[in-house]
Structures are given as C-alpha cells and as structure tokens.
Amino acid sequence: MSDFVLETRQLGKVFGSKHALRDFNLQIERGGVHALIGSNGAGKSTLFRILLGFETPSVGSSFLLGESSQALTPACRGKVGYVNDEHTLPRWLTPKQVKAMQQSYYPLWNEEVYRNVIASFDVDPNQKVGSLSRGERAGFNLAMALAQSPELLILDEPTLGLDVVARQEFLDAVLFCTEIDTTVIYCSHQMEEVERLAEQLIIIEKGVLKEHCTPEDFSARVQLWIAPLEFRELIRAKIPNLLSSRAIEGDVHFYVLDPGESFGSRLGLLGIRDAVSQPLGLANAVRAYLAKNHLGAQQALAC
Amino acid sequence: MLNLFRVEFLRYRTIALAVAVVHFMALYYLSTLTDSGAMLVTPRPNMWIPVQIILCSLFGLFQMLMHKRGNDWIYLLHRPLSLRQIFAALALAGSALCAVMSLLPALLILIMLDSNSLAGIEAQHYLVLLYAAAIMFTSYFCGCFATLGSSKLSFLAVTVATSYIYLRINERVLLAPLLLSLGTLWLAADAFKPDLTQAPQQLWKLALHELPIQYGLLWFLMTTLVMVSAAHHSLSGSGPFVNPQAGTDFKLMQLPAAELLQHALQGSTDPDAGFLSQQVTLGEAVLIAMPAAPQYALRYQSSAAKNKMRMTAEDGTHWIFSHTNMLYEGRDPNTGDFKGWLGPEGIHADAEPPAARFASPAMASNNQLLTDDHNLYSIDWQQQRVYQRYHSEGEDTFLDVPQLHENMTTVMTTERLLIFSSSDVRQPEGALMPRAVLQLPTQSKGLNRQVVALELIDGYLVAVLDELSQMNIGTDFDRFGHTRLQLYRTRNGVVGQQTTVDAPIPTAVDDFSIYNSFVAAPGMRLLTDLYWGWYLDKNLARTLPVPFFRFPTAVLLLAAVVSVLSAAVTAWLLRTSTLPVRSKRFWIVANAFTGLCGVLSFMFGHHLGKAKAPKLPVTGAVP
C-alpha cells in the first residue's frame, strides 16, 4: 500500500496556450483534513479532474491510493468519495431510492453513519431529491459519501450556497471523518471553515503549488505590521516579500511573508519608525497571501 | 448495473410514455386515412422511418448530453463499476426507452389492425419491426457518439443513420442495418470514457472513429454541391434534368410515346420506316408503365403492390389477398362479416380455406384479372368462377398485372413483353394467345426502362429506352452512359421480332456531376460504395468499382491531385506537431486516401489542437 493517498509528479495541464497546472508536485499522507486553497482559476478543479481521471495531464502523472489516475480501477473508485458544490444527484429519485442504488455498489456501506448524518440534516427519504433544499441535498450527498466508508474524501467547495446552520451541520459531519480514519481533501474559499477543519494547508496559485504546510506554520509566516501613513511609499519600495498594504485611519497596514525575527529592527534601519506587529489569524493570512497576485483585491486593499 | 439501468429508465419514463402515446395516436390517425399497415411497410421512403431516425438520434444525443454537462459526468462515472458496465446500463436503458417510444406504438397499431381482418395485416408484417429496430438502434448509438466522440465533428456521425432516409427500406436486407447498429454500438461504447476529449490511442480505432465523421462530411459536401448545382440550373434554365440536350437519355425520356417512336424510326434500317412513321402519326402509341420494384412482397406487402392485392366485387364485397392463406379473403366492408375465399378454382363461401391456393401472391387489376408468378386468371363474379387464361412456362414470371389499353393489353414478365388483344382479354374465359411476344434484354439492377408500343396494321412496333439512369441516390459511377434505344417490330403470324434500331444514347449528365464525390474524397467514396453497394444488392462492379470500372483519365488525374494536395496540407499542418511519427504518417496517408473529407476532419476536429500543443515530456509511469 502506498504511503500517500494522493501523489502528483511534475503534473502539468495545458489548455490551448494556458497552463492550468504547472510542474505540480504534491504528496498527501493518510489521515486528517487537507485544505486546498486558491483563487478562482488557480487550477483546483482541474487538479481534481485529473486526480479522478476525468482529464488527461499534458505532462507528469498523478496517483490516487497508489493507482494511476488515468487507470483507476472500480475498486479504487469505490474507496474515493467525491462531493462537489452542485451536489449532483439524480433529482428524479427520492433519497431512499438513491441510497438503495448507492448501497448496492459499496460493500463497506455504513448504515449507521448514513443515518446519523442524514438525521442531522432532517432529510425526508421519500421526497424527490430535486425538491430538497440546497442544505438538505448537501447533507444527503455527504451522508452518502461518508457511508461508503471512503479512504479518501474529496470535497470541492461543498458548502457553497449553504446557510449558516446547514454549513455548521456540514462541517460537523466532515469533522466526523477524522474519527473514522478518512483522509479529507477540502477545497473551499471560506477561510473560517478552513481554519476550523484543516490540519494541512495546500495553496495553489496560477496552477503552481505554492505552499504545503500546517495552518499554524503558515500563519506564523505571514505578519501584519502597522506603521504611520507617511512611510507608505517607502514600505512599498523597500520591503521585500510585501504581500499587500492599505491605508487605514492615518496608518498603513501591510502584510509581509516570512519577515524573520529581526524584521522590526530592519524597519528601523530603513527609517520606518513606530511600526508595530499585530497578531494575524489564518483567514487573514491566507487572504493577504492570495491577494498578492490578485489585481482586483490589491486595488481594493489599496483603497 | 441493473440499478443504474433502472435509474436511467426511470429518468425518462414519463417523457417516453408521453411520446409513445402521441406516436400511437398519430399512427392510429394515419391508419384511418391510409392503407393500414402500408404506412409502416413500404419500399419507398416514407414518414415513419425518418421520424424514428430523428427521434432516436436526438434521444441518444440528449441522453448523453445530460450526463456530460457539469459535474454529472463525474457523478456518473465515479463509482465502483467498470466503464463497460456503466455504458451497458445506459445503452440498455436508452434502447429500451427508444423501443417504448418507437417500436411499442408500431407493434400495438399492427396488433390492433391485425385484429381487424379488413386491414389485412399479415404475420410477416411484424418483420418490419425488426428492421426498424436495427435502424432505430443505429440512430440512437449515432446520437450517443455525436455527444461522446472526441472530435468536434462527431455530430456528423448522425448522417450515417439519416442517410437511410434516402434509401429503399427493405427488410430482406436486414443484415446490413444489423451490422451497422452493432458497429455504431461499438463506436459509442469506445467513445465512452472519463476524458471525452481524448482521441483513441490505437490508430485502427482512430480510423474507425473517423469513418462516420468523414462519411458525414462527404454527404455535407455533396449536398452543398447538389444544392448549388440545382440553384444554378434553376436560375440558368439549363442542366441535365431541367433542359437536357437533344438526343440525350433524359431528353428522350421526356418525349411523348409517339415522338419517341418517331425518333427511333429516324435511325431505323427498316425498309418500311416511312410507312411505319405514318402509322405512328395515325395510331395510338401507349406508354407501358414499368413495374415498381419490388413488384410484390415475398415477405411483406409494399404499398404499391397493396393496391394490386385488393378488389371490390360487384356486390361491394372487399377482397384482400391473404399471404397467410395465399387466397383472397372476402369481407363485408360495413359489417366485417366473412364472405368467402377466392382461389384459383373460384369462390368458396366456407370458412375453411379451400385446398387449391395460389402458388405465389396474386395481384389484381380492374377487379377482373389476377396474375400470380406464372398464371393469368380472370374472374367471373356472376358465376363465382375463376378461369386460368394463360400460363407462363419456366423461370419467366409475371412482373406486373396486365395493363389494359383500348386495343392491346400488355404484361411484363422478367424477360419478355407479352401483348394480347384487349377484346380477347375482356372475355371472361377461354385461353389467351399473345399477339406478340418480345424478348427484351436483361435489365441491370437499379436502372430503369421505358417502353412504348403501337399496334400496326400487321403487328406491333415497340421502342425500348433501356438502362436508363436516375439521379436519385448515391450516383453510381456506372449508372450513366449505358442507355440504349431499341426498336422492335413484330408481324402477325410470325414468331420472333425484328430489331431495326439498337443505338447507344449519350447521357445528359456531365462527368463533373457523376464523379464529383470521387474527385473530392476518393477513399471515402469507394468505402461508401462498398457498404451501400452491398446493402443495395448491387453487382460486384458497382460495389468495388476500381478494378471493374474504367474511370475517365481526367477524373483520375483530378482525384490524384486532390489526394496529393490533402497529403501536403496535412503534412504542413503537422510540421510543428508533437504527435508520434507513426501518427503523423497515419494522418498523411489517411488524408491522402480520403481527400477533402480527411483534411477537413483533421482541421476542424480535435487533432489539429493536439498537434499544436506545446512540447512537453511524456506522462510518467505508474510507480
């Protein structure tokens, strides 16, 4: 058995002249929740499609549970759960019928897990799937994915469009995965969810793997500093690894990647006086990190 | 797999049932207007088959499109089932739904009409459903392939099914549609894979995927050409059909009977040509209608023959030929009450069919004459008797019912034209003696013949325009330029005929019209001939024309130029390609073979995109 549930080697995908993925090397060990983060168009969905064998890589290779993504066996597919943001299900059937069908495919079907999850979303088993609310459908979809007893569960923005309560229920259910030794790859734009769930953070930008570390490590690498507004241009010109800066109430707030322990004294040497560091949560750290290459966000922050 | 089949079937069950009900109602309505089962069973292109082709193609296209969109494709395929199992479940469900929509209403209407004996449905009529099923499944899988195929031009594969619309429907050639449906099933199954943009890896598979696409391109090109040509002919008032040149086949075909005889006499070596010409001016030249093939059904009734297999007696009783009993069955048209059987020995009122039956299907004309393969009968309704009037020996069989004209009655056999005196024929009984028996040359399959006749003072004058071509389907190379005009004269009391004219007639169709498809796409044209030639039961020369048929030099040269240009353009397009050398060679050779279709398919399909992809290392191996 492979040590990694997921592995990519020099993976690349080209659409016409656009590189959706480039030299992508990723290895994910068994267990835990791994959050995949990136801006829109960063290549997350392409990565999932390649991993599940629905897209052929232009270069490199990828493996799921030790099997090449391009030749996944039915048995391997049975060990990988996949939930997307649309919660695709046969809308013309009732949850009862869908469950009966799914159950027949998976020998390790866990009825208890299914019942527990579905009960928390209050899904009527005799109502047509098409008439379920988005939250109910998401819960039902997750219940089905979890009941398969998957070794790997891929969740692609599953809480998109869910209300606060449904989202909470969903996250609780995902947390349950960690108790049943399922490895979860969780893709989301909601940093609060990532902060709550993730044990590992994977950040993609423009098809390139930028970061793969724990949330704590990542948070430690991004710092928020506040200095008087008069130093704004100096900060922009002289600070290395500057992620972004913005003016707020007579001060300039700027985010720096890997500033190092002596960053404060270096600011003094540059003539930037009265600069102070502020604690920064994961959500803000990721936001600042991703905004680096996001022109719209940069402009918004600058304003 | 069965669960998936069930789920897929349930998805469309309501719409399938709705379509089936509408279909049944439409057929029922048609059955009240037209000749019962003939609307389903006809050798001519009719509405039913095209509707089924379009319906099933669209359903296959739609079904796969619904799975292909968004995340549905991943939902469908990402489950612990093999691709083959998933496709089998979908294809079975799709086929079953097509059967519900198309075959079930047809079956029900046949059964319903069958229960009404006046409609005259025979057991063998149900065979048409088998034929329809083969075409229906071909259409359905073509529709699936149109969505699943990796080429952007995969939708052109639907042309394979729709081209049946233009062809004679004949379930005696059931093997071809069955094989084609299996072929399209394989195509759709092979195209069914997670990454739909990925072209087949093996070259032979790629070639098979390309075939229906290029066939569609060929039809598209030819249809465009025909439409442009027709528009030009309409605007200019010229062209082989609108205004054929004098002395050509289509011009002669348009001439009235008397003028055709006069034209033939102009080249005649007959010393009495001048006198004969005067007789043509004074007499009544008649056009003898050629029997439509197939003349009567061996295993079904054609709509044309159907009209020749029913009679209305003087007392109003409807008599309809029963293939099951090989007798005419009489019923009261108002009450449906059984009135009796009509066989070679007369009319029998008993419900039990008599022992003496017709040896082959008997066709009726004028409610008075009956013709089976070898015998001509007349019916005496007053005496309830049937008389055998003429017997044809050997393998020479009647092709049609007699045609009664004012003075002469003609009837075609497979080899001869028999001319009787109409006054003799109108007698209820007595052996008929033909006044003239003309031995006609054997007719090539698929070609037509036009015959005109005139009664002379001392015999008959018959002009035959033989081996006439029609530009109705696929334009065989060997279809044109074989027309001959023959003039025969018979004399009373003299056995045999005198042939005074046997001249070749040039065709009005130019080389460009005949060979354009061969020049544009030589390989595709030959492959198309191979299939349709076999399907249409043509002879070997038409199915495999290259070794048997002598092409004009200019045509061969033009075809060679198109091939070379296609290969050159392909090679130029591939100059920056990262495709393996083997694939490059394949495309160059294949496009040289298939000409314009090959290049167009290569340019507008997915292959050029692949060729242009940036150079990257090859995908790694499994660890």
Would you say residue A289 has pLDDT above 50? yes
pLDDT score of B325? 82
Which pLDDT value is given to residue B387? 93
Q: Which residue of A has its CA nearest to B11?
A: A92
* ipTM summary value: 0.84
Q: pLDDT tens for residues B48-64?
A: 788 888 999 999 999 99
The per-residue pLDDT for B409 is 92
Contact B72 A100 (CB under 8 A): no
Q: Is the pLDDT of residue B474 over 60?
A: no
Residues of A in contact with B77 (CB under 8 A): 54
Q: How far apart are CA B477 and CA B529, in angstroms?
A: 10
| pLDDT band at residue B607 using 50, 70 and 90 as cut-offs | low
Among the partner-chain residues A74, A82, A92, the one whose CB lies closest to the CB of B11 is: A92
Mean local confidence (pLDDT), B308-316: 81
Residue B315 CA to residue B338 CA, distance in Å, equals 14
Query: Cβ contacts of residue A34 below 8 Å, gap of 6+?
Result: A28, A183, A184, A185, A186, A198, A199, A200, A201, A202
Q: Which residue has the tokens 């349950």?
A: A176
Nearest chain B Cα to A71, which residue? B622
Mean pLDDT across the stretch A258-272? 76
| B141, B181 Cβ separation under 8 angstroms | yes
CA gyration radius, chain B: 29
**B80/A77 Cβ within 8 A:** yes
Q: Is the Cβ–Cβ distance between A13 and A58 less than 8 Å?
A: yes
Window from A36-45, A103-112, A188-197, A231-240 with minimum mean pLDDT: A231-240
What pLDDT, on a 0 to 100 scale, did the predictor assign at position A118?
83
φ/ψ (deg, to 5) at A275 = -85, 135
Q: Which residue intervals of chain A are DSSP H helices? A: 44-51, 74-78, 95-105, 111-121, 134-147, 164-179, 191-197, 215-221, 232-238, 263-269, 282-291, 295-302
Residue A23 has what pLDDT?
A: 86
Instruction: Tell whether the model's pLDDT for residue B119 goes beyond 90.
Output: no
Sheet holding A33-38, edge to edge: A80-83, A152-156, A183-187, A33-38, A200-205, A208-213
Closest residue to A93, CB basis, from B7, B73, B618: B7
Tell me which chain B residue has its CA closest to the CA of residue A45: B71
CA angle B250, B510, B485 (to 5 degrees): 35
**Cα B593 to the center of its chain, rounded Å:** 28
Q: What is the enclosing helix (H) or strand (E) of B8?
A: helix B2-33
Name chain B contacts of A84, Cβ cutoff 8 Å: 71, 74-75
3-class SS at A222?
Answer: strand
Rounded (to 5) percent helix, strand, coil in chain A: 40, 30, 30
Q: Which of B71, B90, B201 to mutate to test the interface with A (most CBs of A within 10 A)?
A: B71
Q: Which of A10, A54, A92 sits opposite B195 (nearest CB)?
A: A54
Residue B514 makes CB contacts below 8 A (sequence gap 6+) with B475, B477, B479, B480
Q: Is the pLDDT of residue A68 over 50?
A: yes
Q: What angle do CA A119, A122, A123 make, to 5 degrees?
A: 100
Kindly state the DSSP code that residue A259 receives in the 8-state scheme: -
pLDDT over 90 at A168, yes or no: no
Distance from CA of A43 to the nearest CA of B (A): 16
Closest Cβ–Cβ partner in A9, A54, A70 for B73? A54
Tally C-beta pairs within 8 A across A and B.
Answer: 91
Summary mean pLDDT of chain B:
82
Of the candidates B473, B444, B382, B505, which has an alpha carbon nearest to the alpha carbon of residue B163? B473
Does the structure show a pLDDT above 50 at A301?
no
CB pair distance less than 8 Å for A105 and B80: yes
* pLDDT band, residue B294 (cuts 50/70/90): very low
CB pair distance less than 8 Å for B620 and A60: yes
pLDDT in tens, B160-175: 888 777 665 554 567 7
Give kind and range of the element (H or E) at residue B387.
strand B385-391
Contact at CB, A61 and B622, closer than 8 angstroms = yes
Among A182-191, A216-225, A263-272, B49-58, the least confident range? A263-272
Q: Yes or no: say if B184 and B141 are a contact pair by the CB < 8 Å rule.
A: yes
Residue A124: helix, strand or coil by DSSP?
coil
Write out chain A residues lying below 8 Å of B78, CB-based: 52, 77, 80, 82
Inter-chain touch B78–A77, beta carbons under 8 Å: yes
Q: A105: which chain B residues are within 8 Å (Cβ-Cβ)?
A: 3, 79-81
Q: How confident is the model at residue B473 (pLDDT cuts 50, 70, 90)?
A: very low
CA angle in degrees (0–180, nearest 5) for A154-A212-A46: 45
> At B71, which amino acid appears?
N
Chain A residues whose C-beta sits inside 8 Å of any chain B C-beta: 2, 7, 9-10, 12, 14, 16-17, 49, 52-61, 63, 66-68, 70-71, 74-75, 77-78, 80, 82, 84, 86, 88-90, 92-93, 97, 100-101, 104-106
- Cβ atoms of A177 and A33 within 8 Å: the answer is yes
User: Is the pLDDT assigned to residue B150 strictly greater than 70?
Assistant: yes
Task: Please write the tens of the pLDDT for every residue from B368-413.
Answer: 889 888 899 999 988 889 999 999 887 788 888 888 988 899 998 8
Q: Which residues neighbour B507 within 8 Å (Cβ) at sequence distance 6 or greater?
A: B240, B248, B249, B250, B469, B480, B481, B483
Question: What pTM, to 2 d.p., does this model score?
Answer: 0.78
Measured CB to CB, residues of chain B less than 8 Å from chain A are 3-4, 6-7, 10-11, 70-75, 77-82, 194-195, 197-198, 609, 613-614, 616-623
CB contact under 8 A, B619 and A86: no
Interface residue of A10, A21, A48, A54 to substitute, partner B, most B CBs within 10 Å? A54
Report the 10 Å Cβ neighbour count for A215. 22
What confidence tens digit (pLDDT) does each residue in B519-538 have? 888 888 888 888 877 776 66
